[in-house]
Structure 1
Amino acid sequence: FSLAASVRVGHARGRHDEPGLRHAVQVALCITTVVGVTAAAALVLARGWIPHIYTNNRDVIELATYLLLFAALYQVSDALQVCANGCLRGFEDTAWPMIMTLFAYWGVGLPLGYGLGLTRWFGEPMGPAGFWIGLVAGLTMAAILLGWRLRWRMQQSLSPTH
């Protein structure tokens, strides 16, 4: 879907079609949000039986059922950051998004996950849940930064001086 957003944004830019550009970005973000929320809801609803597909071990099932809540949480942030990145590719904007995602994943997500999961930096180590929280935080940071960048690119593209 991100690739489709890249193409639609790029074509609208190439035509100098400001309404089409705005429409392409809005539709991409709306559909992405619906898909992310739907995926999150499906994981929450199915988290009790998904682990049973893979194991009969009660401890593993209990842990997986808990961790699937985190997997549900990251669905929306992940979908939005991938979509925003795709739209930015349609603007031929790749360098800053790469730096932003690098920071979000390696500067926020990984250190936070490590700190929460394995160290006493934030209290008792949380184990796998700490890593999942770091993952959610990193993806959310990427979604925020890329959303900010996309908004800025839209304003630049749609301003009267361009």
Structure 2
Amino acid sequence: MYQIKIKRLPGNEDLPTPKKMSEYASGYDLFASVKENLFLQPGKSILIPTGFALEMPAGIEAQVRPRSGLALKHGITVLNTPGTIDADYRGEIKIILIHLGTEEFEIKRGDRIAQLVFMKLPTVELIEVEEINETPRGIGGFGHTGQ
């Protein structure tokens, strides 16, 4: 088990810290730390603060992911999904939301806006070479299988 330190930033004592909403949930829901209600217009993006910072051990990253209900019902998703929070970042966690729906969307203080998933990172070494092995796929990229 990894211990992740969480620091509540001043003025956010009324907000919950990130929490799992069910026993087997992978993600910890993140709450909007907005001072007043915001209205996100279709096609626009906005940066939403969460009111906390993290301290993670080396070898762990936090990924910011959309909430499926917001995406399905309102077209609200995380713009840079998954957003990556590195272990050495100590600033406030903020979420870039984008509105892909058609109706104005209101964001209120304490709304669940995204989720945070913690991942263990492998240690890798990149080795520069002149050639790499061929595979049946080769250089086939986006849509190369016709699907």
What range is the shorter-chain TM-score in?
under 0.3
Instruction: Point out the structure with the larger strand share.
Output: 2
Task: Kindly indicate whether structure 1 or structure 2 has the higher relative contact order, using CA contacts under 8 Å at least 6 residues apart.
Answer: 2
TM-score by length of 2: 0.27
Q: TM-score, length-normalised on structure 1?
A: 0.25
Structure with the largest fraction of helix: 1
